[in-house]
Structure 1
Amino acid sequence: MGGVTVEKDIFGKTKDGQNVDRYTFKNKNNITVQVIRYGGIVTTISVPDRNGVVEDICLGFDTIQEYEKGHPYFGAIVGRFANRIAKGKFELDGETYSLPLNQPVCCLHGGNHGFDKKLWDATLDGTRLILQYISKDGEEGFPGEVTTQVVYELTDENELYIDYTATTNKATPINLTNHAYFNLAGQGAKDVYDHTAQITAEEYLLYNEHGLPTGEIASVEKTAFDLRRPVRLGERMKVVNDGKGFDTNYCFDLVGQRKFMARMEHPKNGRSLEVYSTEPGLQFYTSYFLDGVQGKGGATYGRHSAFCLETQHYPDSVNQPSFPSTILRPGETYRHRTWYKFGIVA
């Protein structure tokens, strides 16, 4: 038997009085992960450093009320369509669909009331947490009734495994991810400049001035976006996007197969994070738009205080025929698997 345990308690109540269950995973290596059924949010990831000091490396809040007030998707399941859809419009099977513009020129992360704001049904199967949400036909403008399951599991190999599946009764775009914000120095640390970053992709998407893909896939060769060898993050962020840092989709082959995408390290304390996924894209975001959010334990989350590694399909795929398709049809099953592996550098 493995050393993983899962315990359930109540994180709080929503504003309409519903209980928000919290599930606490612990493994034999002193790693703790907490997930709530509101938004499927990962609220806590506590891991030891090389000296055995355990700290929470995942940004978030202490109460359900803070999550309900609105936030930059801390730790949440994002859907029905992660990332951006240009002008909030797409055409599918001869019909044009219009979505909420929750950004000036796009629909971001599923609209105004995406999967991150839903209270998911939750069940435990051994040490696997199974979350389910049924999105009605027309919700946020998307066609089809979609049934989504997301399974969270922590292993004794120090991997947080997330398995996403979805089915539909009508053709619809699907693109799911988890939007955890990490800081390997601890969730209250000022910035991530002292981290090292490696992303194995050889290509990335070019964007226009609105942060939307132009449709062109470019080589990272001889660009500041080349992270195939580890780089000190602060130095590289200074020269990317006029000093704003990364908000970049990296492109991968082997869609549907587990592959190594990224590795982050904090040399000072030795914590590391590796990302593996079956997805074709990895959105690397260094939290430029965090603006003094008050977080857990009195922490203040400012610009560049975290990084996100969002495994997903490419942004605006529904309007870019050359990108890998995000259309799910009746009789098909969408599946996306991601592994976040925590470690220690000697």
Structure 2
Amino acid sequence: MTTPLASEPFGQLPDRGPATLFTLQNADLRVRITDYGGRMVSIEAPDRDGHRGHVLLGFADVAAYHQYGGSFGTLLGRYANRIAGAAIKLDGHTYPLSKNSGGDMLHGGAAGFNRVVWSVLTAEAELVPTLVLTHVSPDGDQGFPGELTARAVYQLEADTLTLTLEARTTKPTVINLSAHPYFNLAGTNSGDVLGHELSIAADGFLPTDAAQIPTGEIRPVAGTPFDFRLPVQVGSRIRQPDPQLFHGLGYDHCFALRTQSPGILKSALRVRDPLTGRVLEIDTDQPGVQVYTGNKLTGAFAGHEGMVYRQSAGLALEAQDFPDAPHHPNFPSTLLRPGDIYLRTIRYRFTIG
């Protein structure tokens, strides 16, 4: 007989009923996840002195997420990031999609996976604490064709949290599943993340237009403020007069990772906070990672332990396929057909360095 994960009520949603909070814990980390949006609510990791502290932006109950949580910690789907014109064309047919970012689609539309209460398949605490969530998105959901059955598997082993994303469809469709955790390795009430040191295994990034839609170019990072091939403080070049930084009000761009392919996990990026010594390493088989410096956080609300989330309070790191890939044949394909299995993995490892 297995031991279930510790769980507790996480509040009531006005239109979707109760939410539950699950705790995955071992000697290294304490991770809390809710079935509302499949969100990572908190991660507590030790600093160089062994003191555990919050390294993830989040909130105390589901009402806060519903009111102003946006994408904090959530699973993203059916399509993470943006699709221009909120429409796709598949096999000669055009599918209008949900518009929720001007005339475009962002993170799956107005009622994306962040607004779903996921069903719990597994919640086990023994050996490797595991939480398995699933959601069936009906044919036509937010405009996407095909009934999509998605599954998210969270596993905690030693100093590493692994997220595996799976999906199957009944009709040809496009898919881009990801997660949207905001990290601040310095902990609660530490200020912004501009002093964090960031390195990314990417020689190119995706420039965008003023609406933050990729142009289709994969631009070399060399000689630009987007060169993180060696560790650089996040804030060291964020105020340079680069048109791309104007578009996103800072960093809000997808980086093209080196030689990523499904099923083969490779290093994507490394973040280090010099003050606490905490290090986050992300490995993935996704082809890209969106790096967002919390440019639109306004300070209008507070999260864990009363921390007010102002601009750059957290660093969102979203391993994913390329945004707007259906409109750019040179980008890795996001097409999923019946009989095929979508499978992606993101691994978060917390150490001291």
Shorter-chain TM-score category?
over 0.9
> Is it true that 1:247 corresponds to 2:249 in the alignment?
no
How many Å apart are 1:45 and its aligned residue?
0.3
How many Å apart are 1:64 and its aligned residue?
1.0
Counterpart Cα distance in 2 of 1:82 and 1:11: 25
1:110–1:140 contact (8 Å) kept in structure 2: yes
2:188–2:305 contact (8 Å) kept in structure 1: no
Counterpart Cα distance in 2 of 1:290 and 1:72: 11
Aligned twin of 2:190 = 189
Of 260, 267, 273, which aligns to 2:267?
A: 260
Summarize the alignment of residues 251-330 of structure 1 with structure 2, pairs less than 5 Å apart: 251-252=256-257, 253-256=259-262, 257-292=264-299, 293-330=301-338
Deviates more, 1:247-256 or 1:264-273: 247-256
Output the amino acid matched with 1:279. Q
Counterpart Cα distance in 1 of 2:141 and 2:68: 19
> Is it true that 1:133 corresponds to 2:138 in the alignment?
no
Output the amino acid matched with 1:306. G
Deviations 1:122-142 (A, max 9, x none): 132542111000000011111
1:5–1:25 contact (8 Å) kept in structure 2: no
TM-score scaled by length of structure 2: 0.93
What is the aligned-residue RMSD (CA, Å)? 1.6
Which stretches of structure 1, 4 residues or more, deviate above 3 A after TM superposition? none
1:105–1:210 contact (8 Å) kept in structure 2: no
Aligned twin of 2:60 = 62
Aligned twin of 1:47 = 45
SS of the aligned residue for 1:58 comes to coil
Counterpart Cα distance in 2 of 1:5 and 1:28: 18
Aligned twin of 1:20 = 19
How many Å apart are 1:174 and its aligned residue?
0.6
Output the amino acid matched with 1:136. P
Aligned twin of 1:74 = 72
Counterpart Cα distance in 1 of 2:68 and 2:311: 18
Deviations 1:73-119 (A, max 9, x none): 00000100000000101111111111122111310000000001100
Deviations 1:276-322 (A, max 9, x none): 00100100110101111322222210011110110000000111111
Aligned twin of 2:352 = 344
How many Å apart are 1:254 and its aligned residue?
2.7
* Structure 1 pair 263–91 and aligned structure 2 pair: CA distance change class (3 A): same
1:167–1:334 contact (8 Å) kept in structure 2: yes
Unmatched segments (≥5 aa) in structure 1: none
Deviations 1:151-172 (A, max 9, x none): 001111x111000000000011
TM-score scaled by length of structure 1: 0.95
Aligned twin of 1:88 = 86
Deviates more, 1:187-196 or 1:326-335: 187-196
Counterpart Cα distance in 2 of 1:317 and 1:283: 14
Counterpart Cα distance in 1 of 2:149 and 2:331: 24
Q: Figure out how many residues of one structure are paired with residues of the other and give that number.
A: 340
SS of the aligned residue for 1:44 comes to strand
Aligned twin of 1:143 = 145
Aligned twin of 1:97 = 95
1:5–1:26 contact (8 Å) kept in structure 2: no
SS of the aligned residue for 1:28 comes to coil
Percent identical among aligned pairs is: 38
How many Å apart are 1:6 and its aligned residue?
3.3
Output the amino acid matched with 1:97. Y
